[in-house]
Structure 1
Amino acid sequence: MSRDKALALAREQGLDLILVAEKANPPVAKIIDFSKFKYQQSKKTKSGTTKTKATNVKEVRFTPFMAENDFNTRLERAREFLADGHKVKLVVKFTGRQITRKEFGISQMDKAVQSLSDIAKLEQDPKWLGKLYVGQIKPTKQIKKDEQDQN
């Protein structure tokens, strides 16, 4: 149908003539209300985006022979990450001859997991990766920062 004929038909119906595919041969046009067309386009673009929250894996490192205060500071940092909804990778790093006393690193990991068990659960059991003892935890429920500040 010619352009003039399509425009006359659109005016007769009280609607708009909208060019859909300009580069097609022949060009494709629709007779539709322009506001409805804009709404459909916005729906189409929104459907392409996902509404999932991106969770990052944050890392907190420990050493097998670490002072109690340093350990607690790292635990608090892990709590903050968990409160924000992130997964936390707990790593016990052995340097030098510390690797000969693996039981100290294993106890540090167990202590950390036990301390965080109220807000997180173990997602990946601890395993050895060279001189690193690595485990991963994820939050059990969302904790709002206001609730955490009260504690």
Structure 2
Amino acid sequence: MSKGLVKGSQEKGPMINERIAFPKLQLIGADGKNEGIVSKEDALRQAAVAGLDLVVIAEQGSEGYPIAKIIDYGKMLYEKKKQQNEAKKKQQVIEIKELQFRTKIAEHDFLTKMNQGVNFLKDGKHLKLTLTFGKGREMLTKEERGPAFFAKVDQFLTEADFGGNLMQEKEQQAGHIWSRIYYLKNK
């Protein structure tokens, strides 16, 4: 039986204060100045005098020693979380609405779905139109019906008058499915 580490015995999380395993550190003081290479004990003493924490910010510094900084760890976590929340707010989520069609769709059904698709585009969403082919004979006519269907879609969308802002991504063909994504430039 081996005498290795017991699973879960290693502490997880950042190397902070007594959790730091390195005997020597490149220290950055509370004022942001480089204090040079110091022992772990000296660094912990300086952090205690300042009333702050000693945190390893990089395990491999330019001089071969880990870089540790004297900072308020709670404040650092707060600032980091605040930055993440700000970045999350600035993210733009693209919502894609999909409309599925069969090759033998009736004219009224086509118009109803396309009007719904126009409303999605006006709401700023991306619109994915999927044409599904059945088995057998429908697949044999795929090369004729696919382009004809999307030409009809393009005709309908140009009549919807988006002021030249309508864009389309490259269409995709995979097996029984032929799809294309449309979106408005400025939304």
**Superposition TM-score, scaled by structure 1 size:** 0.59
Give the structure with the larger helix fraction: 1
Q: 2:141 is paired with a residue of what secondary structure?
A: helix
Single out whichever of 82-91 and 42-51 deviates more from structure 2. Answer: 42-51
SS in 2 for 1:55: coil
Shift of 1:60: 0.9
Aligned to 2:179: 134
Partner of 1:62: 101
> Quick check: 1:82–1:138 contact (8 Å CA) kept in 2?
yes
Distance apart, 1:113 and its partner CA = 2.4
CA pair 133-48 structure 1, distance change in 2 beyond 3 A: closer
Structure 1: gaps of 5 or more residues: 1-39, 143-151
2:155 maps to 1:83: no
Partner of 2:155: 114
Residues 108 and 41 of structure 1: CA distance in aligned 2, closer, same or farther (over 3 Å) = closer
> C-alpha distance in 2, partners of 1:41/1:122?
38
Higher RCO (CA-CA < 8 Å; seq separation 6+): 1
Instruction: Note closer, same or farther for the CA distance 1:109–1:42 as it changes in structure 2 (3 Å cut).
Output: same
Runs of 4+ in 1 over 3 A off after TM superposition: 40-46
Q: Which ranges in structure 2 are unaligned for 5 or more consecutive residues?
A: 1-78
Query: Aligned Cα RMSD in Å?
Result: 3.8
Give the Å deviation of 1:53: 2.9
Structure showing greater radius of gyration is 2
- Tell me the secondary structure at the aligned position of residue 138 of structure 1: strand
Give percent identity, aligned residues only.
27
Q: 1:41: Cα distance to partner?
A: 8.8
Number of aligned residue pairs: give it.
129
